[in-house]
Amino acid sequence: METIFDLQNVSHSYLDKFEALKDINLTMTAGEQITIIGANGSGKSTLLLILDALIYATSGEVYAFGNPVTEERFNALEDNEFARYFRTKVGFVFQNPDVQLFSSTVFDEIAFGPLQLGLPREDVVKRTEEVMAMLALSNIRDRAPHTLSGGERKKVCIGSILSINPDVLLLDEPTGGLDPRTQLWLTELLQDLAKAGKTIITATHDMNIVEQISTRSIVFGEDHTIRADCSSTEVMNDQELLLSANLIHEHQHWHGELLHKHPHPSEGEHHHEQVAHHVR
């Protein structure tokens, strides 16, 4: 499998003062579904920003698609072939929808990406229409994004990335602020995209979705280092690990896959298995 991201001894600190990532070593290959989990402030968003070449490692090396990722290579205003290739391949849904919505209508917002990447007009219109239909946004196509509800905004953000059709999707807290039905819809969407062969990297602290949307989990500790990097099932079954990363509280019992077993609807009906609660 092709290696997409390769991080070697990467650290990042904001303003040379606030440490956000420490000594990260990672490789991610095409077609993987990975969740990045960790407590608040452990560095998840920072890692995604580095993967999307929006900020750069303060030390260590980052490679994307076999090319080194450095500020000089990306910040040039001149024609920049690798940067353009990278932007078509990688899409990023930000944690805060407000920073991602800057167009004056929903339609323009979703059409922005494909237009920047130089697709022909008809294709842009077609893609935008189809994405809006898929996300049920067609009825608000002419609304200004800042007048939408939190959940609608999030949907528009996701749509604005899907219209680029990137092979690699970076999502930062995609389920934040979504109602349960929309959350379910989103996990199903991510499962479909995974089946289509996309690489999906999601930062989250929603333990309910980890196993549904990923096969591999990377756990960050509060010291901004990687605590564990293994299969999602293993991670979710490791009480000690989740406790030490401050992801769960000791009064909370995590029962791994038993708590929320949730087959995809096409494979059968939803059914939740009842679990007897232990009392410590």
Partner 1 sequence: MIPDWMNRTETEPYHGAASVAKKKSFGKKTIDGALSFFRESLISETFAKRKGLLQSLDPRVKLISMFVLVVGVTFMTSPWVLLVIYLLTLVLAYFSKIEVLWFVKRVWVFIPIFAGVIVIPMLFNVFLAGNVLVPIATLGNGSHLGPIALPSSIYITQQGTIYVVTFILRVAACVSLAILLFLTTKQDLLFKSLRAIRVPKVYVLTISMCYRYIFLLLDTIADLFTARRSRQITSLPTREEQRWVGGRVGYMLVKSLDTSDKVHQAMISRGFDGDVKLMHDNVMHHRDYVAIVTVLACCVILALISRSIISL
Ligand X SMILES: Nc1ncnc2c1ncn2[C@@H]1O[C@H](COP(=O)(O)OP(=O)(O)OP(=O)(O)O)[C@@H](O)[C@H]1O
What is the contact surface with ligand X in residues (CB under 6 A)?
14-15, 18, 20, 38, 40-46, 95, 205
Name which of partner 1, Mg ion, ligand X, none residue 270 binds, using a CB cut-off of 5 to 8 Å depending on partner kind.
Answer: none
Burial code (b: 16+ CB inside 10 Å, e: under 16) for 225-237 equals: ebbbbeebeebbb
What angle, rounded to 10 degrees, do the helices at 150-162 and 106-116 form? 20
Name which of Mg ion, ligand X, partner 1, none residue 279 binds, using a CB cut-off of 5 to 8 Å depending on partner kind.
Answer: none
Q: Which is nearer to ligand X, 21 or 135 (CB)?
A: 21
Q: Of 156, 160, 159, 236, which is closest to residue 204 (Cα–Cα)?
A: 236
Residue with the CB atom nearest Mg ion in the bound state: 45
What angle, rounded to 10 degrees, do the helices at 106-116 and 121-134 form? 130
Rule CB under 8 A: say whether 77 interacts with partner 1.
yes
By CB under 8 A, name the one of 7, 20, 22, 52 that touches partner 1: 52
Q: Which is nearer to partner 1, 144 or 228 (CB)?
A: 144
Distance CA(98)–CA(96), nearest Å, equals 5
Name which of Mg ion, partner 1, ligand X, none residue 148 binds, using a CB cut-off of 5 to 8 Å depending on partner kind.
Answer: none
Q: Which is nearer to Mg ion, 91 or 174 (CB)?
A: 174
Q: Which is nearer to partner 1, 128 or 212 (CB)?
A: 128
DSSP string, 191-252: HHHHHTT-EEEEEE--HHHHHHH-SEEEEEPTTSSEEEEEEHHHHHH-HHHHHHTTSS-TTS
CB of 11 to Mg ion, least distance (A): 18
- Residue 249, classified by CB atoms within 10 Å of its CB into exposed (0-12), middle (13-18) or buried (19+), is exposed
Q: List residues near Mg ion by CB under 5 A.
A: 45, 95
Size of the site for partner 1 (CB under 8 A): 37
Q: Which is nearer to partner 1, 144 or 248 (CB)?
A: 144
Q: Of 259, 158, 169, which is closest to residue 207 (Cα–Cα)?
A: 259
The 10 Å Cβ neighbour count of residue 196 is: 10
Rule CB under 8 A: say whether 92 interacts with partner 1.
yes
Q: Which is nearer to partner 1, 143 or 255 (CB)?
A: 143
Q: Which is nearer to ligand X, 16 or 267 (CB)?
A: 16
Burial code (b: 16+ CB inside 10 Å, e: under 16) for 118-135 equals: ebeeeebeebbbebbeeb
CB of 238 to ligand X, least distance (A): 19
CB of 280 to ligand X, least distance (A): 27
Token pair of 210 as six digits: 């980890």
Rule CB under 8 A: say whether 120 interacts with partner 1.
no
Q: What does the CA dihedral 197, 112, 57, 79 come to, rounded to 10 degrees?
A: 100
CB of 24 to ligand X, least distance (A): 12
Residues contributing to the site for partner 1 (CB under 8 A): 49, 52, 54-55, 77, 80, 83-84, 87-88, 90-92, 94, 96, 98-100, 102-104, 108, 111-113, 115-118, 121, 124-125, 144, 146, 160-161, 164
